[in-house]
């Protein structure tokens, strides 16, 4: 991801298609801390979801995030994803075990 017109790189995003036959994929993103709070993550995730549903004909897109990361949870909710579950103590972080929220959206839910 880059800011125009300077093309300054400030993050990345991805759509991970596990299997086209199953018609689902996961999404993820990273935004440099200096650019948090500007709506870039929401814009990127929204574009990924549209691309996945409209261009790749996916049925379902999902994401995982640290349960203690309210900013990422807000991004996922703003783009229409719903929390579908909680994986308790799913990731081992430097500070200990972290819970992970699972979010998802179906093509039929795209607004």
List, in order, residues 6 or more apart from 86 with CB less than 8 Å away.
67, 99, 100, 101, 102
At residue 8, does pLDDT exceed 80? no
* pLDDT-derived band at 105, boundaries 50, 70, 90: very high
The domain that holds 6 is classified in CATH as 3.40.630.30
At residue 5, does pLDDT exceed 90? no
pLDDT in tens, 66-89: 999 999 999 999 999 999 999 999
At residue 3, does pLDDT exceed 70? no
What total number of domains does the chain contain?
A: 1
pLDDT in the model for residue 111: 67
At residue 53, does pLDDT exceed 90? yes
* pLDDT-derived band at 7, boundaries 50, 70, 90: low
At residue 101, does pLDDT exceed 90? yes
- The residue range of the domain holding 105 is 2-109
Query: Edge-to-edge strand order for the sheet containing 11-19?
Result: 11-19, 24-31, 60-66, 96-106, 82-93
């Amino acid at each position: 991801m880059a800011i125009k017109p300077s093309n300054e790189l400030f993050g990345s995003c991805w759509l991970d298609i596990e299997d086209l036959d199953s018609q689902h994929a996961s999404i993820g993103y990273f935004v440099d801390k200096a650019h948090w709070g500007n709506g870039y993550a929401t814009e990127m995730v929204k574009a990924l979801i549209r691309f996945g549903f409209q261009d790749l004909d996916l049925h379902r897109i999902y994401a995982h995030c640290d349960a203690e990361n309210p900013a990422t949870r807000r991004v996922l909710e703003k783009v229409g994803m719903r929390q579908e579950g909680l994986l308790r103590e799913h990731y081992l972080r430097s500070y200990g075990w972290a819970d992970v929220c699972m979010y998802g959206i179906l093509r039929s839910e795209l607004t």
